[in-house]
Structure 1
Amino acid sequence: MLKPNNRREPRAGTRSHLLLLCVFVSFTLLGLFALDAAAQKSAEKKKRPDGLELELVEGGELAAPEEVKKKTPSEPLGEKETQAVIERLGKKAPEAKEEKFAFPSSTLPPPVTGTKIKSVFPPPLKVPGIKIPANPEIEVLRYQPEGSLPLASHLSVTFSEAMVALDTHESLAGGELPVILTPPVKGIWRWVGTKTLFFEPGGTKGKTRFPMASIYKVEIPGGTRSAGGAKLKKKISWTFSTPAPTIVSAHPQGGPKRIDPLMVLVFDQRINPDAVLEYITVQAGTKKYVLRRATDADLAADARAKKIFSAAAEDRRVAFVATERFPTSATVRIQAGKGLPSLEGPLKTTKVQAFSFRTFAPLKVTEHQCYWNNHQKKECPPGQPMLVYFNNNIDAKVFDPSQVKIKPKLDGKQINIHGNRLHIHGRTRPRTAYTVTLKPSIKDVFSQELGKEASLAFSYGKMSERLSSNSGSLVVTDPAGPPKFSIYTINHDTVHLDAYRVNPDQWSAYNNFLREYRKKNSKAVPPGEKLYSGEVDIKGAPDELTETAIDLRPVFEELGGQVILVIRKNEKNELRTAVITWAQRASIAIDAFVDAGKLLVWTSALADGATLEGV
């Protein structure tokens, strides 16, 4: 007996849903793979350098041939049309001329057969040498160094004939040398070519030289033979020398200096400091002082001396101090006597080498002035600083501006120390006498005080005359009010005004005038016609900067809206010192922008900035 089957068959709608789900998942995965591949390609592309890229791929079947293009529709010509075309082909143009073909007059000849050279390649290993007629004698063409030299870096001798075969330096190094150097010096002999022998003393690369304080003899024996067998007829010899110890740097020098200074001498060659110290004398007046080598503590106490000592080579320097202090206001003389020895050679010094310095004196004021170029104390130009000079440098670390008093009060006062100078800046008043008082507590770098009060007088005169304007070469007057032009003066009662009537066509001539009129002995005059001339009164206090607004209404009413103004002290004054401008009275402002295709122009009213139309 069959049992009923309870399993239901899936509906058609369910199958469709499953199919759509599978398709969606497939496309999603494909999209993710595509994005990942694109990201990898982008990363690889960023890593690749710019330029041409080549990529190899597997070959495949040839692409299918392109489809044959469709023929353009056409219709055959009829008998009449065909006959008309044929008739046109037989006709000649009326201007056409018949010419025969241009044949060349002759043809080029055939190429000549070359000569064949038969030879073995590569050539035989043994090539016969070139025979050069031998000179029976050789000569020394040149040599160096010679005579007394401050420094000898090398020795060279050049012969007239080849002295060695052309070979490597290593091969020639063991050969016999034709030159004898006395005394012998450690170094390297080498041939430069086949005719020049070069000797370089031993030492650090770039610092090789012959030992100093020595006399050297160079000899080439007679009978010396060249590589070709020629002989030197007679002996040739010469000498050169390097100097005995020379002082290249000495500290201290000049002044003022301390009364217990550390002294340093630096030499141009190696020396024994203890041996050198025996030849050094230090004298102040008639007194000679006992000396000793400086210690590390002595060097640490003098930064300047330590810097000089440390910069020199260890075996070329000596530092020492006197066992007593020197007196103040004294000239101290350092002498390196004759016979001073060297560690490099036997020569000793044959002359005295001397240096000197001056010890400090009691602190005092040496000069005061109020103008940079002249030692001027009276009628100083207002605005210039006051300067006070001392004989010693002032200690800026302990200086206090309160140690300087100024009467009457100086507005904007600034007091600074620069070495041995005291600078006082401020708004100094014209026609005023100042008294500067220095307190006794002012100290110099040697811890000395001024000791007593010092009063210094400075007198300032009147301001120099001045005429200027803050306008340029072109000014447009204010359209909202009466036309005016401002000038600024100091110590002027009146100025002279000339006005020239001009038009815009003269703008170029005006610029040429501006370039020329300031030149020396220039005879340039403003363009246009001078139709106005008059005096302008200045109402201002003496020595004060005064602004004067010149009313231009009568000028514009008489000459029009374009004028050149020339303002100077008086009519006879040169134009070089005048205020010159082109003044324009206008009510419209114009601006423009232009490119390759258009010109845009804006117009507006100068009085209120409103846009103007139909201008």
Structure 2
Amino acid sequence: MKTFYHRYRWFLLITAAVLILAVGVYFALKVLGLFPGPGYVISTPIDTPTGIEGEIPGQGIGEGQLGFTLSEGSDQPDPVEPLPVATGEPLSQAELINILARLPELIRDPQDEQAFRLPDDVIPPPLTGDTIDEPFPPPFTQGGPQTIEPGPLEVLRYSPEGEIPIAPFVNITFNQPMVALATLEQLSAADVPVQLDPAIPGTWRWLGTKTLNFQADSSLIDRLPMATEYTVTIPAGVESAVGGVLDETIEFSFTTPTVTLDRYYPGTSPQPLDPLFFVSFNQRIDPGAVLKTIEVSADGQPLSIRLATDKEINADETVKSYVKHALESRWVVFKVIQELPKDSSISVTIGAGTPSAEGPLLTESAQSYSFQTYAPLRIDDHGCAWYGEECQPLTPFFIKFNNPLDPQAYKDGLLRIEPELPGASVDLYGDTISIRGATRGRTTYWITVDSEIQDIFGQKLGQDERLRFRVGPAEPVLIGPNEIFVTVDPAAPEPGVSLYSINYKALDVRIYAVQPSDWPAFLNYMYEFQRTDTPPTPPGRLVRNDQEQLDLADDTLTEVNIDLTPYMDGDFGHFIVIAKPHRGLLQEDRYWETVHAWVQVTQIGLDAFVDHSEMVVWANALADGAPLSGVRIATDAPGQSYTTGEDGLARFPIPAGGASYLVANQGADTALLPPSLYYWGEDNWVRRDPPDELRWYVFDDRTMYKPAEEVHVKGWLRRIGAGQDGDVSLIGNDVTGVYYQVIGPQGNELGNGRAEVNALGGFDFVFTLPENT
């Protein structure tokens, strides 16, 4: 055993020495570059069988050698077989019932019932307005109750009195206290020192100690009954609480209105021959009693009437709506027994002596209204919207009938127009037809209305009607571009600005040759032209000031081109064009038709995109939209210019003082781009420094809570940087805390506090909900 142990120990020592020697040799060779690292190719001689020539495929090695490459290895993923997808089929109803039948029966525990727990005293909602704290009881002030000097009792005032539209209550005020403060409750009939005739159910109350108030008791009305004359008596001998006595009887009276007509239907014309009649009043009535006083006549001939049935009321949507919105027991619906005659004046009279269901007074005079039944269909009027003897070109025609037309029965072909009206369109509006189209001046149109045209009562016109419409000369008109800044079409053979005119023979034209630097002065000229009667002279060099003679067809909107070719510097130029109708000695100066336009002739298309600090300008060829490189871009800020690249773009910062326009130059060609065409104030490109923002994300633990539970709230704050390099970042030491306020469901403040914000922008706080929330 001892010998074996010594041999084993020597074996371990020799093995360790060999390993140390091998490692040392390896590192020595690696340092000297004699040991290949990863990626080196090592060639090793091998024996090649006789008669076989070649090399290992893929290796550029000499004959008789084996080439291989050493490199860092990587784990190869184990092949994974996808799990098969189960294709399930829905269970049938019977299978579901069998599965559910295996479940044990759900046993109801009667002890597990709990009543819904409402708080005993819910926090009331906050009061509107400001709460003023006053000490209670108030500070004691020396003094006692006011002493009332005994004397005769008087009635200071009373209301209502005379004929009144409504009597909500009766008030009587005395000059002395009538009751003690402890007896301000409802009085018994024996305690009332006032008599009301006629007596009606109601309540007498003291408002203070000197004013007596009466209000009627009724579930049907909230006032004293109508159609009644009331007398109020305060008898002599009434005694006040301090011993004053009323020397003489006081009596006053007031009267509430009798039955008065409130609303009625029908009231417009024309009407069908079997309408329902609806009438409502200002007070409650008995329909049967009121019907006896109603008279209906057609052209003076009386007609028999009866109350309408509920079925008839529900079948008429209009009357049904009137009944729905009327007050209970204040309306009556009736109808005539026979049909009303056509084209007749129907008069409805609620006669004198109409009774009320509230009081005994009857009406003293009749109340009436009238309407017309429909007549045979006819044309009442025709013309144009100009309402003159002659129509203006392009104004619509109208044809007015005596009855509303049936739009469902109208069809194409019922109107025939001669001569043909380009773009003709027909619209029906009740009893009127409107015809629109491109009518020509100095032309007579004839419109034939077909006999088959029909009204809402099913009547037809019966015969064709031919109507004449005379269109006179058009009013003179001069129209220019919609905007004051115009870029001429680059493909135009004769560059110019297009105006449109009707019935003008000559225009006064002024043209100024300008440079882009004149743009601010042009805006100022436009401002002064609109503001004053003596505007300044436009900027630039006056190159034309004469008349443009027009040879236009009458009453025809015609394009007029103001040619700019004679005034151009080569193929390009900028101009201010001012044109207005030529005015004769005695003619009106139609200054509002003066056309102003800055017109540029260029081949450069210019557009600009800006943010708060930088501007990107894009130059392209107007002819085909291709980007233009090498175009010099400048603003009105001195000493700054930039050049577009191959993509036609130039990017540069907005000048510190802003920019009122951009100029692009390419050879002799110059293009202008203003930021706005607004001339009532400055509207430039300006640099803005947007501020950073703070944003937060806040959440609570459960979102729904019971009273008296704790609520845990957590959140984070972050800075949102503005500008091109803006990012989301920590807030640092800028915010050290947040204040919070807890608002209940009714708007009450349930709590407030402050939460510390840590270095990472996080904060949290806890609060407990009140028991009675």
Whether TM exceeds 0.5 here: the answer is yes
Paired position in structure 1 for 2:567: 555
Q: 2:209 aligns with which of 174, 194, 201?
A: 194
Q: Which residue among 443, 447, 453 is the counterpart of 1:442?
A: 453
| Equivalent of 2:339 in 315, 319, 325 | 325
Structure-2 residue corresponding to 1:610? 628
* Deviation of the 1:487 alpha carbon: 1.9
Residue of 287, 291, 315 corresponding to 2:305? 291
> Is 1:151 aligned with 2:166?
yes
CA distance in 1 between counterparts of 2:186 and 2:470 reads: 88
1:179 aligns with 2:194: yes
Q: Which amino acid aligns with 1:433?
A: T
Question: Residues 138 and 527 from structure 1, CA distance in 2 versus in 1: closer, same or farther, beyond 3 angstroms?
Answer: farther
1:395 to 406, 410, 416: 406
- Paired with 1:469 and 1:131, the residues of 2 have a C-alpha distance of 86
Q: CA deviation at 1:279?
A: 1.7
2:224 paired residue number: 210
Match of 1:421 among 424, 427, 432: 432
Q: Distance in 2 between matches of 1:174 and 1:323?
A: 52
CA distance in 1, matches of 2:583, 2:444: 36
- Mark the CA change 1:289 to 1:552 in structure 2 (over 3 Å): closer, same or farther: same
Give how far 1:431 is off. Answer: 3.7
Alignment of 1:334-345 (within 5 A): 334-345=348-359
Pairs within 5 Å for 1:83-232: 130=145, 132-167=147-182, 169-170=184-185, 176-204=191-219, 207-232=221-246
Q: CA deviation at 1:331?
A: 1.4
Paired residues for 1:507-522 under 5 Å: 507-518=519-530, 522=533
Displacement of 1:208 after TM fit? 0.8
More helix by share: 1
Q: How many residues align?
A: 484
Deviations 1:466-507 (A, max 9, x none): 322225223345678764222223344543311245566664
Deviation at residue 363 of structure 1 after TM alignment: 1.0
* Equivalent of residue 502 in structure 2, options 487, 490, 500: 490
SS at match of 2:340: coil
Aligned AA for 1:198? N
> 1:545 aligns to what?
557
Counterpart residue number, 2:364: 350
1:366/1:589 CA distance change after superposition, 3 Å: closer
CA contact 2:174–2:210 (8 Å) conserved in 1: yes
Name segments (4+ residues, structure 1) moved above 4 Å. Answer: 171-175, 476-483, 501-509, 537-542, 571-574, 584-596, 598-609
* Structure 2 residue corresponding to 1:532, chosen from 532, 540, 544: 544
Structure 2: distance between partners of 1:542 and 1:373: 20
CA separation in 2, counterparts of 1:600 and 1:272?
82
Deviation at residue 544 of structure 1 after TM alignment:
3.7
Deviation string for 1:116-143 (max 9, x for gaps)?
A: xxxxxx99xxx99636143312322221
Tell me what 1:105 maps to.
none
Counterpart position of 2:417: 406
Residue in 2 that maps onto 1:307: 321
Corresponding residue SS for 2:223: coil
Give the alignment partner of residue 582 of structure 1, picking from 592, 598, 601. Answer: 598
**Segment drifting more, 312-321 vs 182-191:** 312-321
1:266 and 1:245 map into 2 onto residues whose CA distance is 10
TM-superposed CA distance for 1:589, in Å, is 7.3
Q: What is the CA–CA distance in structure 2 between the aligned matches of 1:449 and 1:603, rounded to whole Å?
A: 67
Contact 1:518 1:576 survives alignment (8 Å):
no
SS in 1 for 2:269: strand
Task: Tell me the equivalent position of 2:274.
Answer: 260
Q: Is the 8 A contact 2:581 2:590 kept in 1?
A: no
TM-score, scaled to structure 1 = 0.70
- 1:367 CA drift (Å): 0.6
Kept after mapping to 1: 8 A contact 2:386/2:392:
no
* Residue 460 (structure 1) aligned to one of 446, 471, 479: 471
CA distance in 2, matches of 1:220, 1:191: 15
Conserved in 2, the CA contact under 8 Å of 1:479 and 1:606? no
- 1:255 & 1:241 partners in 2: Cα distance? 37
Q: CA 1:245–1:571 in structure 2 vs 1: closer, same or farther (change >3 Å)?
A: closer
Higher relative contact order (CA 8 A, sep 6+): 1
Gaps of 5+ in 2: 1-136, 633-640, 643-773
Distance 2:491 2:337 in 1: 87
Provide the C-alpha distance between the structure 2 equivalents of 1:380 and 1:128, rounded to a whole number of angstroms: 89
Partner of 1:374: 387
Question: Which sections of structure 1, spanning at least 5 residues, go unmatched?
Answer: 1-121
For residue 532 of structure 1, what is the amino acid of its counterpart? R
Match of 1:15 in 2: none
TM value normalised by structure 2: 0.57
Distance 1:182 1:252, change over 3 A: same
Secondary structure of 1:222's aligned partner: coil
Shift of 1:545: 3.3
| Identity percentage of aligned residues | 35
Distance verdict in 2 for CA 1:291–1:595, change over 3 Å: closer
- Between stretches 561-570 and 448-457, larger displacement belongs to 561-570
Give the distance between the partners of 1:455 and 1:375, measured in 2 at CA.
20
SS in 1 for 2:522: helix
Residue 547 of structure 1 deviates from its aligned partner by 2.8
CA gap of 1:285–1:172, structure 2 versus 1, over 3 A, is closer
Deviation of 1:388 after TM superposition, in Å, equals 0.7
Provide the C-alpha distance between the structure 1 equivalents of 2:332 and 2:502, rounded to a whole number of angstroms. Answer: 65
Q: Secondary structure at the match of 1:232?
A: coil
Query: Is the contact made by 2:184 and 2:209 (CA closer than 8 Å) also made in structure 1?
Result: no
CA distance in 2, matches of 1:478, 1:303: 62
Partner residue in 2 for 1:108: none
SS of residue matched to 1:517:
helix
For 2:544 and 2:434, locate their aligned partners in 1 and report how far apart those are by CA, in whole Å: 50
1:565 Cα offset (Å): 1.6
Alpha carbons of 1:275 and 1:582: their partners in 2 closer, same or farther (altered >3 Å)? same
Tell me if the contact between 1:384 and 1:428 (Cα under 8 Å) persists in the aligned partners: yes
Letter in 2 for 1:412: G
CA distance in 2, matches of 1:471, 1:210: 68
Give the RMSD, CA atoms, in angstroms. Answer: 3.4
Shift of 1:454: 1.0
> Measured at CA, do residues 524 and 571 of structure 1 come closer, stay the same or move farther in structure 2, by a change above 3 Å?
farther
- Which of the numbers 284, 288, 311 marks the counterpart of 1:274? 288
Quick one: structure 1 residues 167 and 501, their matched pair in 2 at CA, closer, same or farther if it must change by over 3 Å?
farther
Over 3 Å counting, the alpha-carbon distance change for 1:562 and 1:349 in structure 2 is same
- Equivalent pair of 1:475/1:581 in contact (CA under 8 Å): yes
Partner of 1:433: 444
Query: Partners in 2 of 1:605 and 1:285 — Cα distance?
Result: 81
Q: Which moved more, 1:445-454 or 1:571-580?
A: 571-580
Q: Tell me, in whole angstroms, the C-alpha distance in 2 between the residues paired with 1:288 and 1:594.
A: 82
Q: Output the amino acid matched with 1:579.
A: V
Q: Secondary structure at the match of 1:260?
A: coil
